[in-house]
Amino acid sequence: MPNTAPYRLLSDWNAQDRVIELKLEIAGGATLAGAKLATTSLFRIHPECRIEGATLAGQLSNHHVFAQPEGTRIAPGQSWIIRADRLSHVLRHYTYGPKSAFLILADGSTHPVAVEPMTLNGVPGAPHWEEIAPQDLPAGAAPLSVIPAPRAVSVAGRRDPALPLVIATEAPLAAQKAFSAVRALAGRLFTRDEPLYCHGEGHIVAAQDEAALRDGAYRIAFARDGITLSAGGEDGYRHGFITLGQMLRGARQRPRDFALPEAGTIDDEPRFGWRGAHLDVARQFYAMQDVVDFLDCLAWNKLNRFHMHLNDDEAWRLEIPRFPALTEKAAFRGVGEILPPLLGTPAERTGGFYTGDDIRALVAHGLSLGIEIIPEIDIPGHCHCVLEVLPELRDPGETGVYRSVQYFPNNALNPAVEATWDFLAAVFDRLVELFPARHLHAGADEVAEGAWLGSPLAVALGERLFGKAETFTLQSHFLKRVQEMLRARGRDIAVWEEAALGGGLDAEGALLVAWRESKSGRALAEQGYRVVLAPAEHYYFDMARSAEWWEPGASWAGTVSLRDTYDYDPGSDWPDALKPQLAGVQSCLWSENLSLPGLFTHLVYPRLSAMAEGAWCAPERKDFARFLATQDLMPVSARG
């Protein structure tokens, strides 16, 4: 569509001087006087920044309002130039720049501004990204289009790929259920394909229970007169049917490389019980269909945990009947709302939330695919919007300002305010009502150094309990109380790794997700915790895939190429004695940049499948060349 907006925002990062220039081009409309330019971005203006060409009339994290200097006038055909010399961090990719913008005229009316991708050192360009070129299967590789690669394979020959897979009528109930779920899954994922699974004519798959096969394991025996799938239960059957469907699909799409075998066996089982993917549905809202679609892609990769990050400073997405204002007010951002536009949202009210029925539908969908949904309510930090909607949760005597790494002021729930615990009781009751998962995730990441130290109530609590108020001992006190509340509701706590600070938690039943560095997981295990590994430098899919300016994403943890994800060997630095404490692995996708079209697919796929091989396969089964030649057969989300 041609750009007809009279206002266009260009931006440029001068990497030598570390100065950002914003240039508002005015093609029409009235002469600007007393106007304000509002922008959202990934960067934040540092408190010591000098700004030329405007004054900073307002800021919340990455939402900035620049006021036109008094007495100036900018006519159509002219530009308004603003320079700022100190930002929260060095800008490394175009996606760090402005994401949305609008003008506020002197009469208070708002007007959209078209935002161009930020350039580097004035060099024009356009966003682009390297797609992975199709690769040939390495010589000698088994003709097996299966990701993650099965544990033991010995197969030969090929069956007719035109025929679908059909389950034998006498198959046990668990196999019938798994077949129906996988058939429906493939129908949703591959809408343009001929059906992979049918009733009627086709390759008959006999199914038989084999109690000796542990959870998730399966065996496939191929013989000229039929295929036999054995498993210990529904998970194993589901995995087996997915493997068969992947082979059939490969044989149809790339018959030179792949086959549905005629003879031989596949013996397979997962390496880890926790094979997860996290999605931040707070920074951006994901419609139900997007989440269902993502769950489907997880299932085809044999992943079995979906970690749903339901709140953050920038939004609260889960309806809590006792506190309806949370979703009425904090699930939406816009001018005049409790939350201003942030991270790409426009002046108009936008957002969304999940009702109880939505969550029940997602949980049921996940369960039908063997995926448990672990809800995360991120506390005590990352609670800016909660505290804006429920100011009674603040200590009225609090003085001083601390700021989170994302520049949200005083954003931690206060353990010394009794209303905090009433609020959390309602939230946990709701989680328990909606989510059957054993673990409920309580966040605990990135509480700011200095949090609570300006709160007389929290200081008194710290002095009473510990002789001294200190942020992380108070955090430990907070989290232990949360752990007890979850235990009283029959659940265990999951948390990010910072929960171990200041005295930590009771290790019994607790699950810590290690994210800051690949070596942090081992240190947590040494302290007695059970651990999920999600190291940012391998498994954070919001990290850009390369250092190029035009590659989208962030890179505070470095860039994460497909190979960086693939080659990570979870637990390889752990002594054998600690390995029983390694529950598994998961990827994380933080959504700060995900307002831009096309980014979800580019950032998630095929790194998701690379992580899935790490979750499923023993290291000796991994082979990057074979993976590269097969990954293009894996599904991507329809979200784009």
Residues lying near ligand ACM in the complex (CB under 6 A) are found at 445-446, 496, 515
How many Cα atoms sit within 13 Å of 289 on the Cβ side?
Answer: 5
Q: Which of 191, 276, 182 is nearest to 635 (CA)?
A: 191
Q: Which is nearer to ligand ACM, 408 or 550 (CB)?
A: 408
User: In whole angstroms, how close is the CB of 446 to ligand ACM at the nearest point?
Assistant: 5
Kindly state the tokens that stand for 2. Answer: 């041609």
User: In whole angstroms, how close is the CB of 603 to ligand ACM at the nearest point?
Assistant: 15
Question: What is the signed CA dihedral for 420, 425, 431, 436, rounded to 10 degrees?
Answer: 140
User: In whole angstroms, how close is the CB of 574 to ligand ACM at the nearest point?
Assistant: 21
User: In whole angstroms, how close is the CB of 208 to ligand ACM at the nearest point?
Assistant: 43
Q: Give the H/E segment covering residue 278.
A: strand 274-280
Kindly state the tokens that stand for 570. Answer: 């979870």
User: In whole angstroms, how close is the CB of 524 to ligand ACM at the nearest point?
Assistant: 14
DSSP 126-171: ----PPPPP-PPPTT--S---SSPPSEEEEE----TTS-EEE-TT-
Q: Which is nearer to ligand ACM, 332 or 515 (CB)?
A: 515
**Torsion angles phi and psi, residue 244, rounded to 5:** -65, -40
Q: Which is nearer to ligand ACM, 446 or 506 (CB)?
A: 446
Q: Give the H/E segment covering residue 218.
A: strand 218-223
Q: Which is nearer to ligand ACM, 155 or 373 (CB)?
A: 373
User: In whole angstroms, how close is the CB of 434 to ligand ACM at the nearest point?
Assistant: 23
Largest Cα separation within the chain, whole Å, is 88
Alpha-carbon gap, residue 478 to 471, rounded angstroms: 10
User: In whole angstroms, how close is the CB of 604 to ligand ACM at the nearest point?
Assistant: 16
- Strand-pairing partners, residue 403, are 409
The answer to whether the bond into 380 is cis (omega within 30° of 0) is yes
Is 534:278 a contact under the CB 8 Å cutoff? Answer: yes
Q: Which of 52, 58, 54, 27 is nearest to 40 (CA)?
A: 58
User: In whole angstroms, how close is the CB of 448 to ligand ACM at the nearest point?
Assistant: 12
Sign (positive or negative) of CA dihedral 514, 519, 525, 530: positive
User: In whole angstroms, how close is the CB of 199 to ligand ACM at the nearest point?
Assistant: 45
User: In whole angstroms, how close is the CB of 536 to ligand ACM at the nearest point?
Assistant: 7
User: In whole angstroms, how close is the CB of 489 to ligand ACM at the nearest point?
Assistant: 24
- 305-309 vs 311-312, strand pairing mode: unpaired
User: In whole angstroms, how close is the CB of 142 to ligand ACM at the nearest point?
Assistant: 38
Q: Which is nearer to ligand ACM, 202 or 535 (CB)?
A: 535
Q: HEC profile for 220-276? A: EEEECCEEEEEECCHHHHHHHHHHHHHHHHHHHHCCCCCCCCCEEEEEECCCCCEEE
Residue type at 173 in one-letter notation: L
Residue appearing with tokens 């990062």: 13
User: In whole angstroms, how close is the CB of 592 to ligand ACM at the nearest point?
Assistant: 11
Q: Which is nearer to ligand ACM, 159 or 441 (CB)?
A: 441
**Torsion angles phi and psi, residue 166, rounded to 5:** -130, 135
Q: Which is nearer to ligand ACM, 353 or 496 (CB)?
A: 496
Other residues' Cβ atoms within 10 Å of the Cβ of residue 396: 10
Q: Which is nearer to ligand ACM, 348 or 446 (CB)?
A: 446
Is 41:62 a contact under the CB 8 Å cutoff? Answer: yes
Q: Which is nearer to ligand ACM, 445 or 492 (CB)?
A: 445
DSSP 552-568: -SB-BTB---HHHHHH-
Beta strands in 476-616 (DSSP E): 492-496, 511-514, 530-533, 582-587
Q: Which is nearer to ligand ACM, 267 or 446 (CB)?
A: 446
Q: How deeply is 579 buried, as exposed, middle or buried, from its count of CB atoms within 10 A (0-12, 13-18, 19+)? A: exposed
User: In whole angstroms, how close is the CB of 234 to ligand ACM at the nearest point?
Assistant: 32
Alpha-carbon gap, residue 421 to 455, rounded angstroms: 17
Q: Which of 353, 349, 321 is nearest to 333 (CA)?
A: 349
Q: Which is nearer to ligand ACM, 198 or 405 (CB)?
A: 405
Q: Which is nearer to ligand ACM, 257 or 445 (CB)?
A: 445
Q: Which is nearer to ligand ACM, 222 or 496 (CB)?
A: 496
User: In whole angstroms, how close is the CB of 518 to ligand ACM at the nearest point?
Assistant: 14
Q: Which is nearer to ligand ACM, 111 or 403 (CB)?
A: 403
Other residues' Cβ atoms within 10 Å of the Cβ of residue 3: 9
Q: Which of 485, 430, 451 is nearest to 317 (CA)?
A: 430
Q: Which is nearer to ligand ACM, 522 or 622 (CB)?
A: 522
Tell me the residue nearest to ligand ACM as measured from the CB: 445
Residue appearing with tokens 């919340």: 60
